[in-house]
Structure 1
Amino acid sequence: MKLVRFIMLARRPGSMSDDRWQKLIRRVSDIEGLRLADRNDLLHVVTSDDSPLHIGGHGVVVGRLFERDGREVAQLGPEACDRIVGSAGQSLCADYWGPYVCILRQKDGDRISVLRAPLGALPCYLVAFEGGVALASDVDLFIACGLLRPVIDWDEVLRHLMVRDLVWPETCLSGLRELRGGQQLLLSEEGLAIQDVWSPTTFARRDHQMRDPIAAARIVRDTVCNSVASLASGEAGIVLMLSGGLDSSVLAAALTRQDVPVTCITLVTGDATGDERRYARQVCAALGLSLVEGWRDLAGIDVGRSDARGLPRPTERMFFQESRRLCEQAAAEAGATAIFNGGGGDNIFCSLRSGAPAADRLLTGGSGFLSTVRDLSHLTQESRQTVMMDAVRRAWFGKPTIRLSHDTSLLSPDVVEAAHPPWRHPWLESAAELLPGSAQHLRLVACAQDIAEGAQPWDRLPMISPLMVQPLVEACLSIASWLWLDAGHNRAVARHAFADVLPEDVAWRRSKGTPDAFTARIFDANRRKLREILSGGELVRLGLVDLPAILEVLDDPRPVHGHSFRRVLQLADVEAWAAGWIASDV
């Protein structure tokens, strides 16, 4: 299914003239492909959604809404509408899930609220203007109605480069913010306010933990299968990016239960770490699925182009250009209408390598502590004494549970010294109240938030990450951290949940494939062009990067090594992203 587009205009009572309001409405109404969904004197909503859900005359839900059992909602009944209106929209987070945005007029008529689904794949950006606010699914809609001139906020670009994994409401375009999943915007006579109405922290608390391994495996399997069934419904066919690793293989197993054609694709490079065909073939043979083996082609990479074009942050990785091309090609040949991937699986399934789960054992009575130490020692190849000491320090001697490090490599030392990146993330502010392992699991989820919420409106086909959905995140965070370890394996609950349908080599696989060698080839083949892009680019002009250090990496005659080459590619992608916005503003 195509990603829904929408734009909403809202004004405070008496805040602007009717003439100016009507002028804005005319601009919005002229946007091709959007139809009226809701309106009154203070609100105007248009969307590409053919069947938005109306909330009994009080507002509208755009996108897809699923019951907790996975059934898609086609119409909201009177009781559901009353509950939504009575809770100011917040009951949606408890009763439903999905890629939706709820726009609600409160009972008094003068207050408007907008709720974005927790981990919702339907984007929601906002631009404030005198007397009101506009919210939309993509930047181009703001530009089309004259509410935004795209100007890059280089301070935010710097923060993005220093703290890549976590994403804040501020974007890298001046004047544009994002309503993150689980947040609600309120507009009233008093002004504009944003509040968090859902947080995964709730489900990671000690009194919420599940400690029965059999029950944990059952709930993970049921939740994965229900979520996949919901997201697959309505698709003519699905292409699954199947590496043969645990996460994508779990999705393959869940998809076999759906009445929708599935084509798997495994992406191959010429080196051992980039060739996982052995595992992908085993999965497809066991599940009766077809497999396409797509060879990544270096010629398909353009280091002067960013796949994040049109997005308010430079979030894409360069090697994914070829992944996207191969997946779209496979989809065209198979008649598929969506691409599924296992993004976020390591995060959701608690792939930890610290002593934190053993610390959780100590803080909950100590039973099973030595067993967890043994598992961690086997997993990390550290001595049991080292693991035990790490656990003790985390449990009783104040070793920080969460360290939010920042990457200053190849950035200008002067700029780094002057920068003050905010480390606070709303989901992590109360992490100190959690057990150490649960807190680290929560951090993993926070680092994967943008996998769920970073959809691209211009993708030919929707790229869906079914593991990064609200019901599964809530279920996995409620499982005790030590249950995710077994016999020296991480992600053990998910392994047990699907062990009966996956080949043993896959269910209990330890190795992981990576595109690192292909990424290194991209760098090596494009050294000259990368030098041109970065030497004459905005990052150098503004003094944000250390050009001599960059050139030292580019001119190193040795075979590609270390990590700096990835940073150079990231900086080049930022330049390509910025060039797109600068050109659009000419």
Structure 2
Amino acid sequence: MCGIAGIVPRSNSGLLYTEDLKAMLTELEHRGPDATYHFINPNVALGMTRLAIVGGDNGVQPIWNETHTCAVVCNGEIYNYHALKETLTFHGHEFQTDSDVEVIIHLYEEYGEQFLSHLEGIFALSIWDAERQRMLIARDRIGVKPLYYINTDDAFAFASELRALLPFAPGQLNVSALASYHELRFAPAPYTLVERIEKLPPAHYAVIHGRQLRVQGYWKPTLMTSIDVDSSVNPARQASDSSPTAPVVSHLTTDVEKQQHVRGLIEDAVNAQRADGVKSSVLLSGGLDSTLLVALQTKLFGTAPNTITVSFKPPASANQYVSTEYDEHSYARQVADLFGCEHRAEEFDANETWDLLPQIVSDLDEPIADPTALPLWFASRLAHQSGHRVMFSGEGMDELFAGYSLYRQTYWLRALNAFPKNFRQGLYEFLKDARWPGTNLVEHSIKPVTEWYRSIGELFDTDEINRLFAQELRDAAKTAPRHWSASTITRFLHLSDHARTNIDPLQQMLLFDCVHWLPENTLTKSDKISMAHSVELRVPFLNERLFEYALSLPAKYKMRRGVHKFIIRKAFQDVIPYDVLHRPKAGFPVPITAWVYGEWHDQIRDLLLSPDAVTKDMYQRQMVESLLSSSPDAQRRSARLLWSLVTMELWLKSVVERDLYVRGVSTEESSVEIV
């Protein structure tokens, strides 16, 4: 793992971007503390900061081809590089190093822009083609590794983190991204909060040639469109459509065969991502996914892994949100003892967490209003202190195999969908003013999934944003384009009208989370927080083959009779302890509501309402005060809203402290069309 950066000048002035590149690499030093390398000439500047995992002393980048006409820098790991190297050697390519990255440059020589289809791994990369005087940048299919770029009149520049590109930016906030952040908790690709700086979307590459910039996708996640659901709900629907949009393993006909295939894919994925030669650990919550990682590493590697757990002390403020669920130590300890792991656990309180919030938000690099960044930050710090260069996480299982409780409502949606739409419409009209708890579910049954599912995780709704934003910002936001309307989401998910109508609701929800929530929130947050501590976070369950097969599986294999991750529980019931198999999902709970309206309440008021607040001209004081004084029954939601404001304030403060103050707002649209 490493940080990468590069610059392509727009003119033939012969100026060298030496100091600019060195400044960018300094910003990325935490991503690669072992060494810094660069190559600079009048046509290009390429550099990397290295965290040595694979390749030993031969991992110096950029890596060149035999004729010194093409160079590559890459952040990530190529898991199938042994097989690729063997094939490329057979075709006459000569390798100079043991680095997994070197296969990339030879693949590019062999296949051109199609080389990306051969790679399995997590990566953000750049190739400089000196003969053609063009640069190519690319990002892995699922979006594990981030990549940012800026295209100006003077130069094109890219980097692993947004902070490294701030000196190239005009110093304005992108108001469309700002509005999206307050709605979604983050700014979705290709946009960032900083005008002109963009994120390369997952499964995309960009080619820079002269003043031309072309961004293009090279892979699309697709989904089984046949409604093949739990027959106990609505068997009549199963035969209504039978045309899949994704390749499936057609010879696997029985449940047992599918379970065995999923198990084989998962075991192969875990085995491919083993971290030989460096100390590593598993981020252990004691839940299903992390326990499965521990069990499989013990089985496949012949020794139990190190494990790490963090938790938070119960809040001092006694209210309805205080729960023993905030202590995951006991569950994790049980699993660690069962498998014989060397286990480290730490517990943190509200005061220590508050004191570290400015650093945690700064380490996020771009604002993401998700409190789960807190336990991940402490776990990454603990891994670093333990000398672990790699930490394994169970990310992705919930999105692929329906692990979240929210997905359970699709069980009732299928039942409602058995009735004619005009009946459901009439039922909704009858119930909508009655405040019946099931009214929202009836409403969802008459709307496309892409129209209502996005709003479930919404922070501020349109009316609240109007009351939150100050006049200038509110006026700008009204005219700014919205990138996540129902129609754009439908296109983004590559769903035809036919598929949108006939596809199972659970499948649509899972696909949305896989291509939206997972890369934009979970994976971006995980990469930035772990790499801030020079720790590589590996996510074996997001192997491409497993990812594609999971999407092709009908919904009944993911949730059956209300049981989440049904096929996973069946496939691994011999290796996962019984109590873990049947324990409700917990994860790493954060007592954010109790803290916001308890120990942190006065600090948050001072932070957001201070005359020195960076956001004082962005947010209306009355709205902030209203959230701070929310009634007890509204505090759970209000705490999330306040957390997003705190995150934005601390992020902007970190930018100000770096003398890179973002000035004003802009509604300028991206000038790059993504194919």
Mark yes or no: TM-score above 0.5.
Answer: yes
Query: Which residue matches 1:18?
Result: 13
3-state DSSP of counterpart to 2:125: strand
Moved more, 188-197 or 266-275: 266-275
Using the aligned pairs only, state the percent identity: 17
What pairs up with 1:258-277 in 2 under 5 angstroms?
A: 258=301, 261-270=305-314, 271-277=323-329
CA contact (8 A) 2:186 2:367 kept: no
Q: 1:28 aligns with which of 21, 24, 32?
A: 21
1:554 aligns with 2:628: yes
TM-score in terms of structure 1 length: 0.80
Give the CA deviation at 1:302. Answer: 1.9
Give the CA deviation at 1:183. Answer: 0.9
Moved more, 487-496 or 317-326: 317-326
Give the CA deviation at 1:63. Answer: 3.0
Query: Which residue matches 1:9?
Result: 7
Give the CA deviation at 1:35. Answer: 1.6
User: Residues 449 and 521 of structure 1: is their aligned pair in 2 closer, same or farther, counting only changes over 3 Å?
Assistant: same
Q: 1:452 aligns with which of 515, 523, 544?
A: 523
AA aligned opposite 2:283: M
Query: Which residue matches 1:252?
Result: 294
Q: 2:582 aligns with which of 502, 508, 513?
A: 508
> Aligned partners of 1:357, 1:431: CA distance in 2, in Å?
24
Query: Which residue matches 1:194?
Result: 215
AA aligned opposite 1:552: S
Q: 1:98 aligns with which of 122, 131, 135?
A: 122
Give the CA deviation at 1:84. Answer: 3.1
Give the CA deviation at 1:530. Answer: 0.7
Deviations along 1:263-318, whole A, 9 cap, x unmatched?
23252543322234453344224322233343232221126615231655211545
3-state DSSP of counterpart to 1:407: coil
Moved more, 274-283 or 192-201: 274-283
> Aligned partners of 2:615, 2:155: CA distance in 1, in Å?
38
> Aligned partners of 1:475, 1:228: CA distance in 2, in Å?
16
Query: Which residue matches 1:63?
Result: 75
CA contact (8 A) 2:162 2:366 kept: no
> Aligned partners of 2:85, 2:524: CA distance in 1, in Å?
21
1:488 aligns with 2:562: yes
Q: 2:465 aligns with which of 411, 418, 436?
A: 411
Unpaired runs of 5+ residues, structure 2, are: 27-34, 51-58, 94-102, 226-243, 315-322, 419-436, 662-675
1:280 aligns with 2:359: no
1:123 aligns with 2:120: no
Give the CA deviation at 1:260. Answer: 7.6
3-state DSSP of counterpart to 2:594: helix
> Aligned partners of 2:594, 2:631: CA distance in 1, in Å?
14
User: Residues 26 and 268 of structure 1: is their aligned pair in 2 closer, same or farther, counting only changes over 3 Å?
Assistant: closer
User: Residues 161 and 67 of structure 1: is their aligned pair in 2 closer, same or farther, counting only changes over 3 Å?
Assistant: same
CA contact (8 A) 1:241 1:340 kept: yes
CA contact (8 A) 1:10 1:44 kept: yes
Moved more, 403-412 or 480-489: 403-412
Query: Which residue matches 2:229?
Result: none
> Aligned partners of 1:158, 1:358: CA distance in 2, in Å?
31
> Aligned partners of 1:499, 1:466: CA distance in 2, in Å?
19
Q: 2:648 aligns with which of 554, 574, 582?
A: 574
> Aligned partners of 1:192, 1:488: CA distance in 2, in Å?
48
Unpaired runs of 5+ residues, structure 1, are: 364-381
3-state DSSP of counterpart to 2:273: helix
Deviations along 1:374-419, whole A, 9 cap, x unmatched?
xxxxxxxx99xx99x99xx96xx77445532243255333737566
Query: Which residue matches 1:421?
Result: 482
> Aligned partners of 1:245, 1:218: CA distance in 2, in Å?
22
Moved more, 117-126 or 58-67: 58-67
AA aligned opposite 2:11: M
Deviations along 1:548-582, whole A, 9 cap, x unmatched?
23323323585984311221122112101111112
CA contact (8 A) 1:169 1:179 kept: yes
User: Residues 65 and 458 of structure 1: is their aligned pair in 2 closer, same or farther, counting only changes over 3 Å?
Assistant: closer
Query: Which residue matches 2:240?
Result: none
> Aligned partners of 1:562, 1:203: CA distance in 2, in Å?
36
3-state DSSP of counterpart to 2:399: helix
> Aligned partners of 2:209, 2:636: CA distance in 1, in Å?
53
Q: 2:285 aligns with which of 237, 243, 248?
A: 243
User: Residues 519 and 466 of structure 1: is their aligned pair in 2 closer, same or farther, counting only changes over 3 Å?
Assistant: farther
> Aligned partners of 1:202, 1:25: CA distance in 2, in Å?
47
1:48 aligns with 2:49: yes
3-state DSSP of counterpart to 1:201: coil
> Aligned partners of 1:502, 1:69: CA distance in 2, in Å?
31
3-state DSSP of counterpart to 2:14: helix
> Aligned partners of 2:346, 2:5: CA distance in 1, in Å?
38
TM-score in terms of structure 2 length: 0.71
1:177 aligns with 2:198: yes
Moved more, 179-188 or 215-224: 215-224
Q: 2:509 aligns with which of 440, 443, 449?
A: 440
Give the CA deviation at 1:502. Answer: 0.7
3-state DSSP of counterpart to 1:119: coil
CA contact (8 A) 1:70 1:229 kept: no
CA contact (8 A) 2:206 2:216 kept: yes
CA contact (8 A) 2:47 2:73 kept: no
User: Residues 138 and 557 of structure 1: is their aligned pair in 2 closer, same or farther, counting only changes over 3 Å?
Assistant: closer
What pairs up with 1:204-243 in 2 under 5 angstroms?
A: 205-209=244-248, 212-234=254-276, 236-243=278-285
CA contact (8 A) 1:269 1:518 kept: no
AA aligned opposite 2:523: A
Query: Which residue matches 1:329?
Result: 382
> Aligned partners of 1:460, 1:29: CA distance in 2, in Å?
19
Moved more, 567-576 or 272-281: 272-281
Query: Which residue matches 1:343?
Result: 395
Query: Which residue matches 1:113?
Result: 136
Query: Which residue matches 1:374?
Result: none
1:535 aligns with 2:609: yes
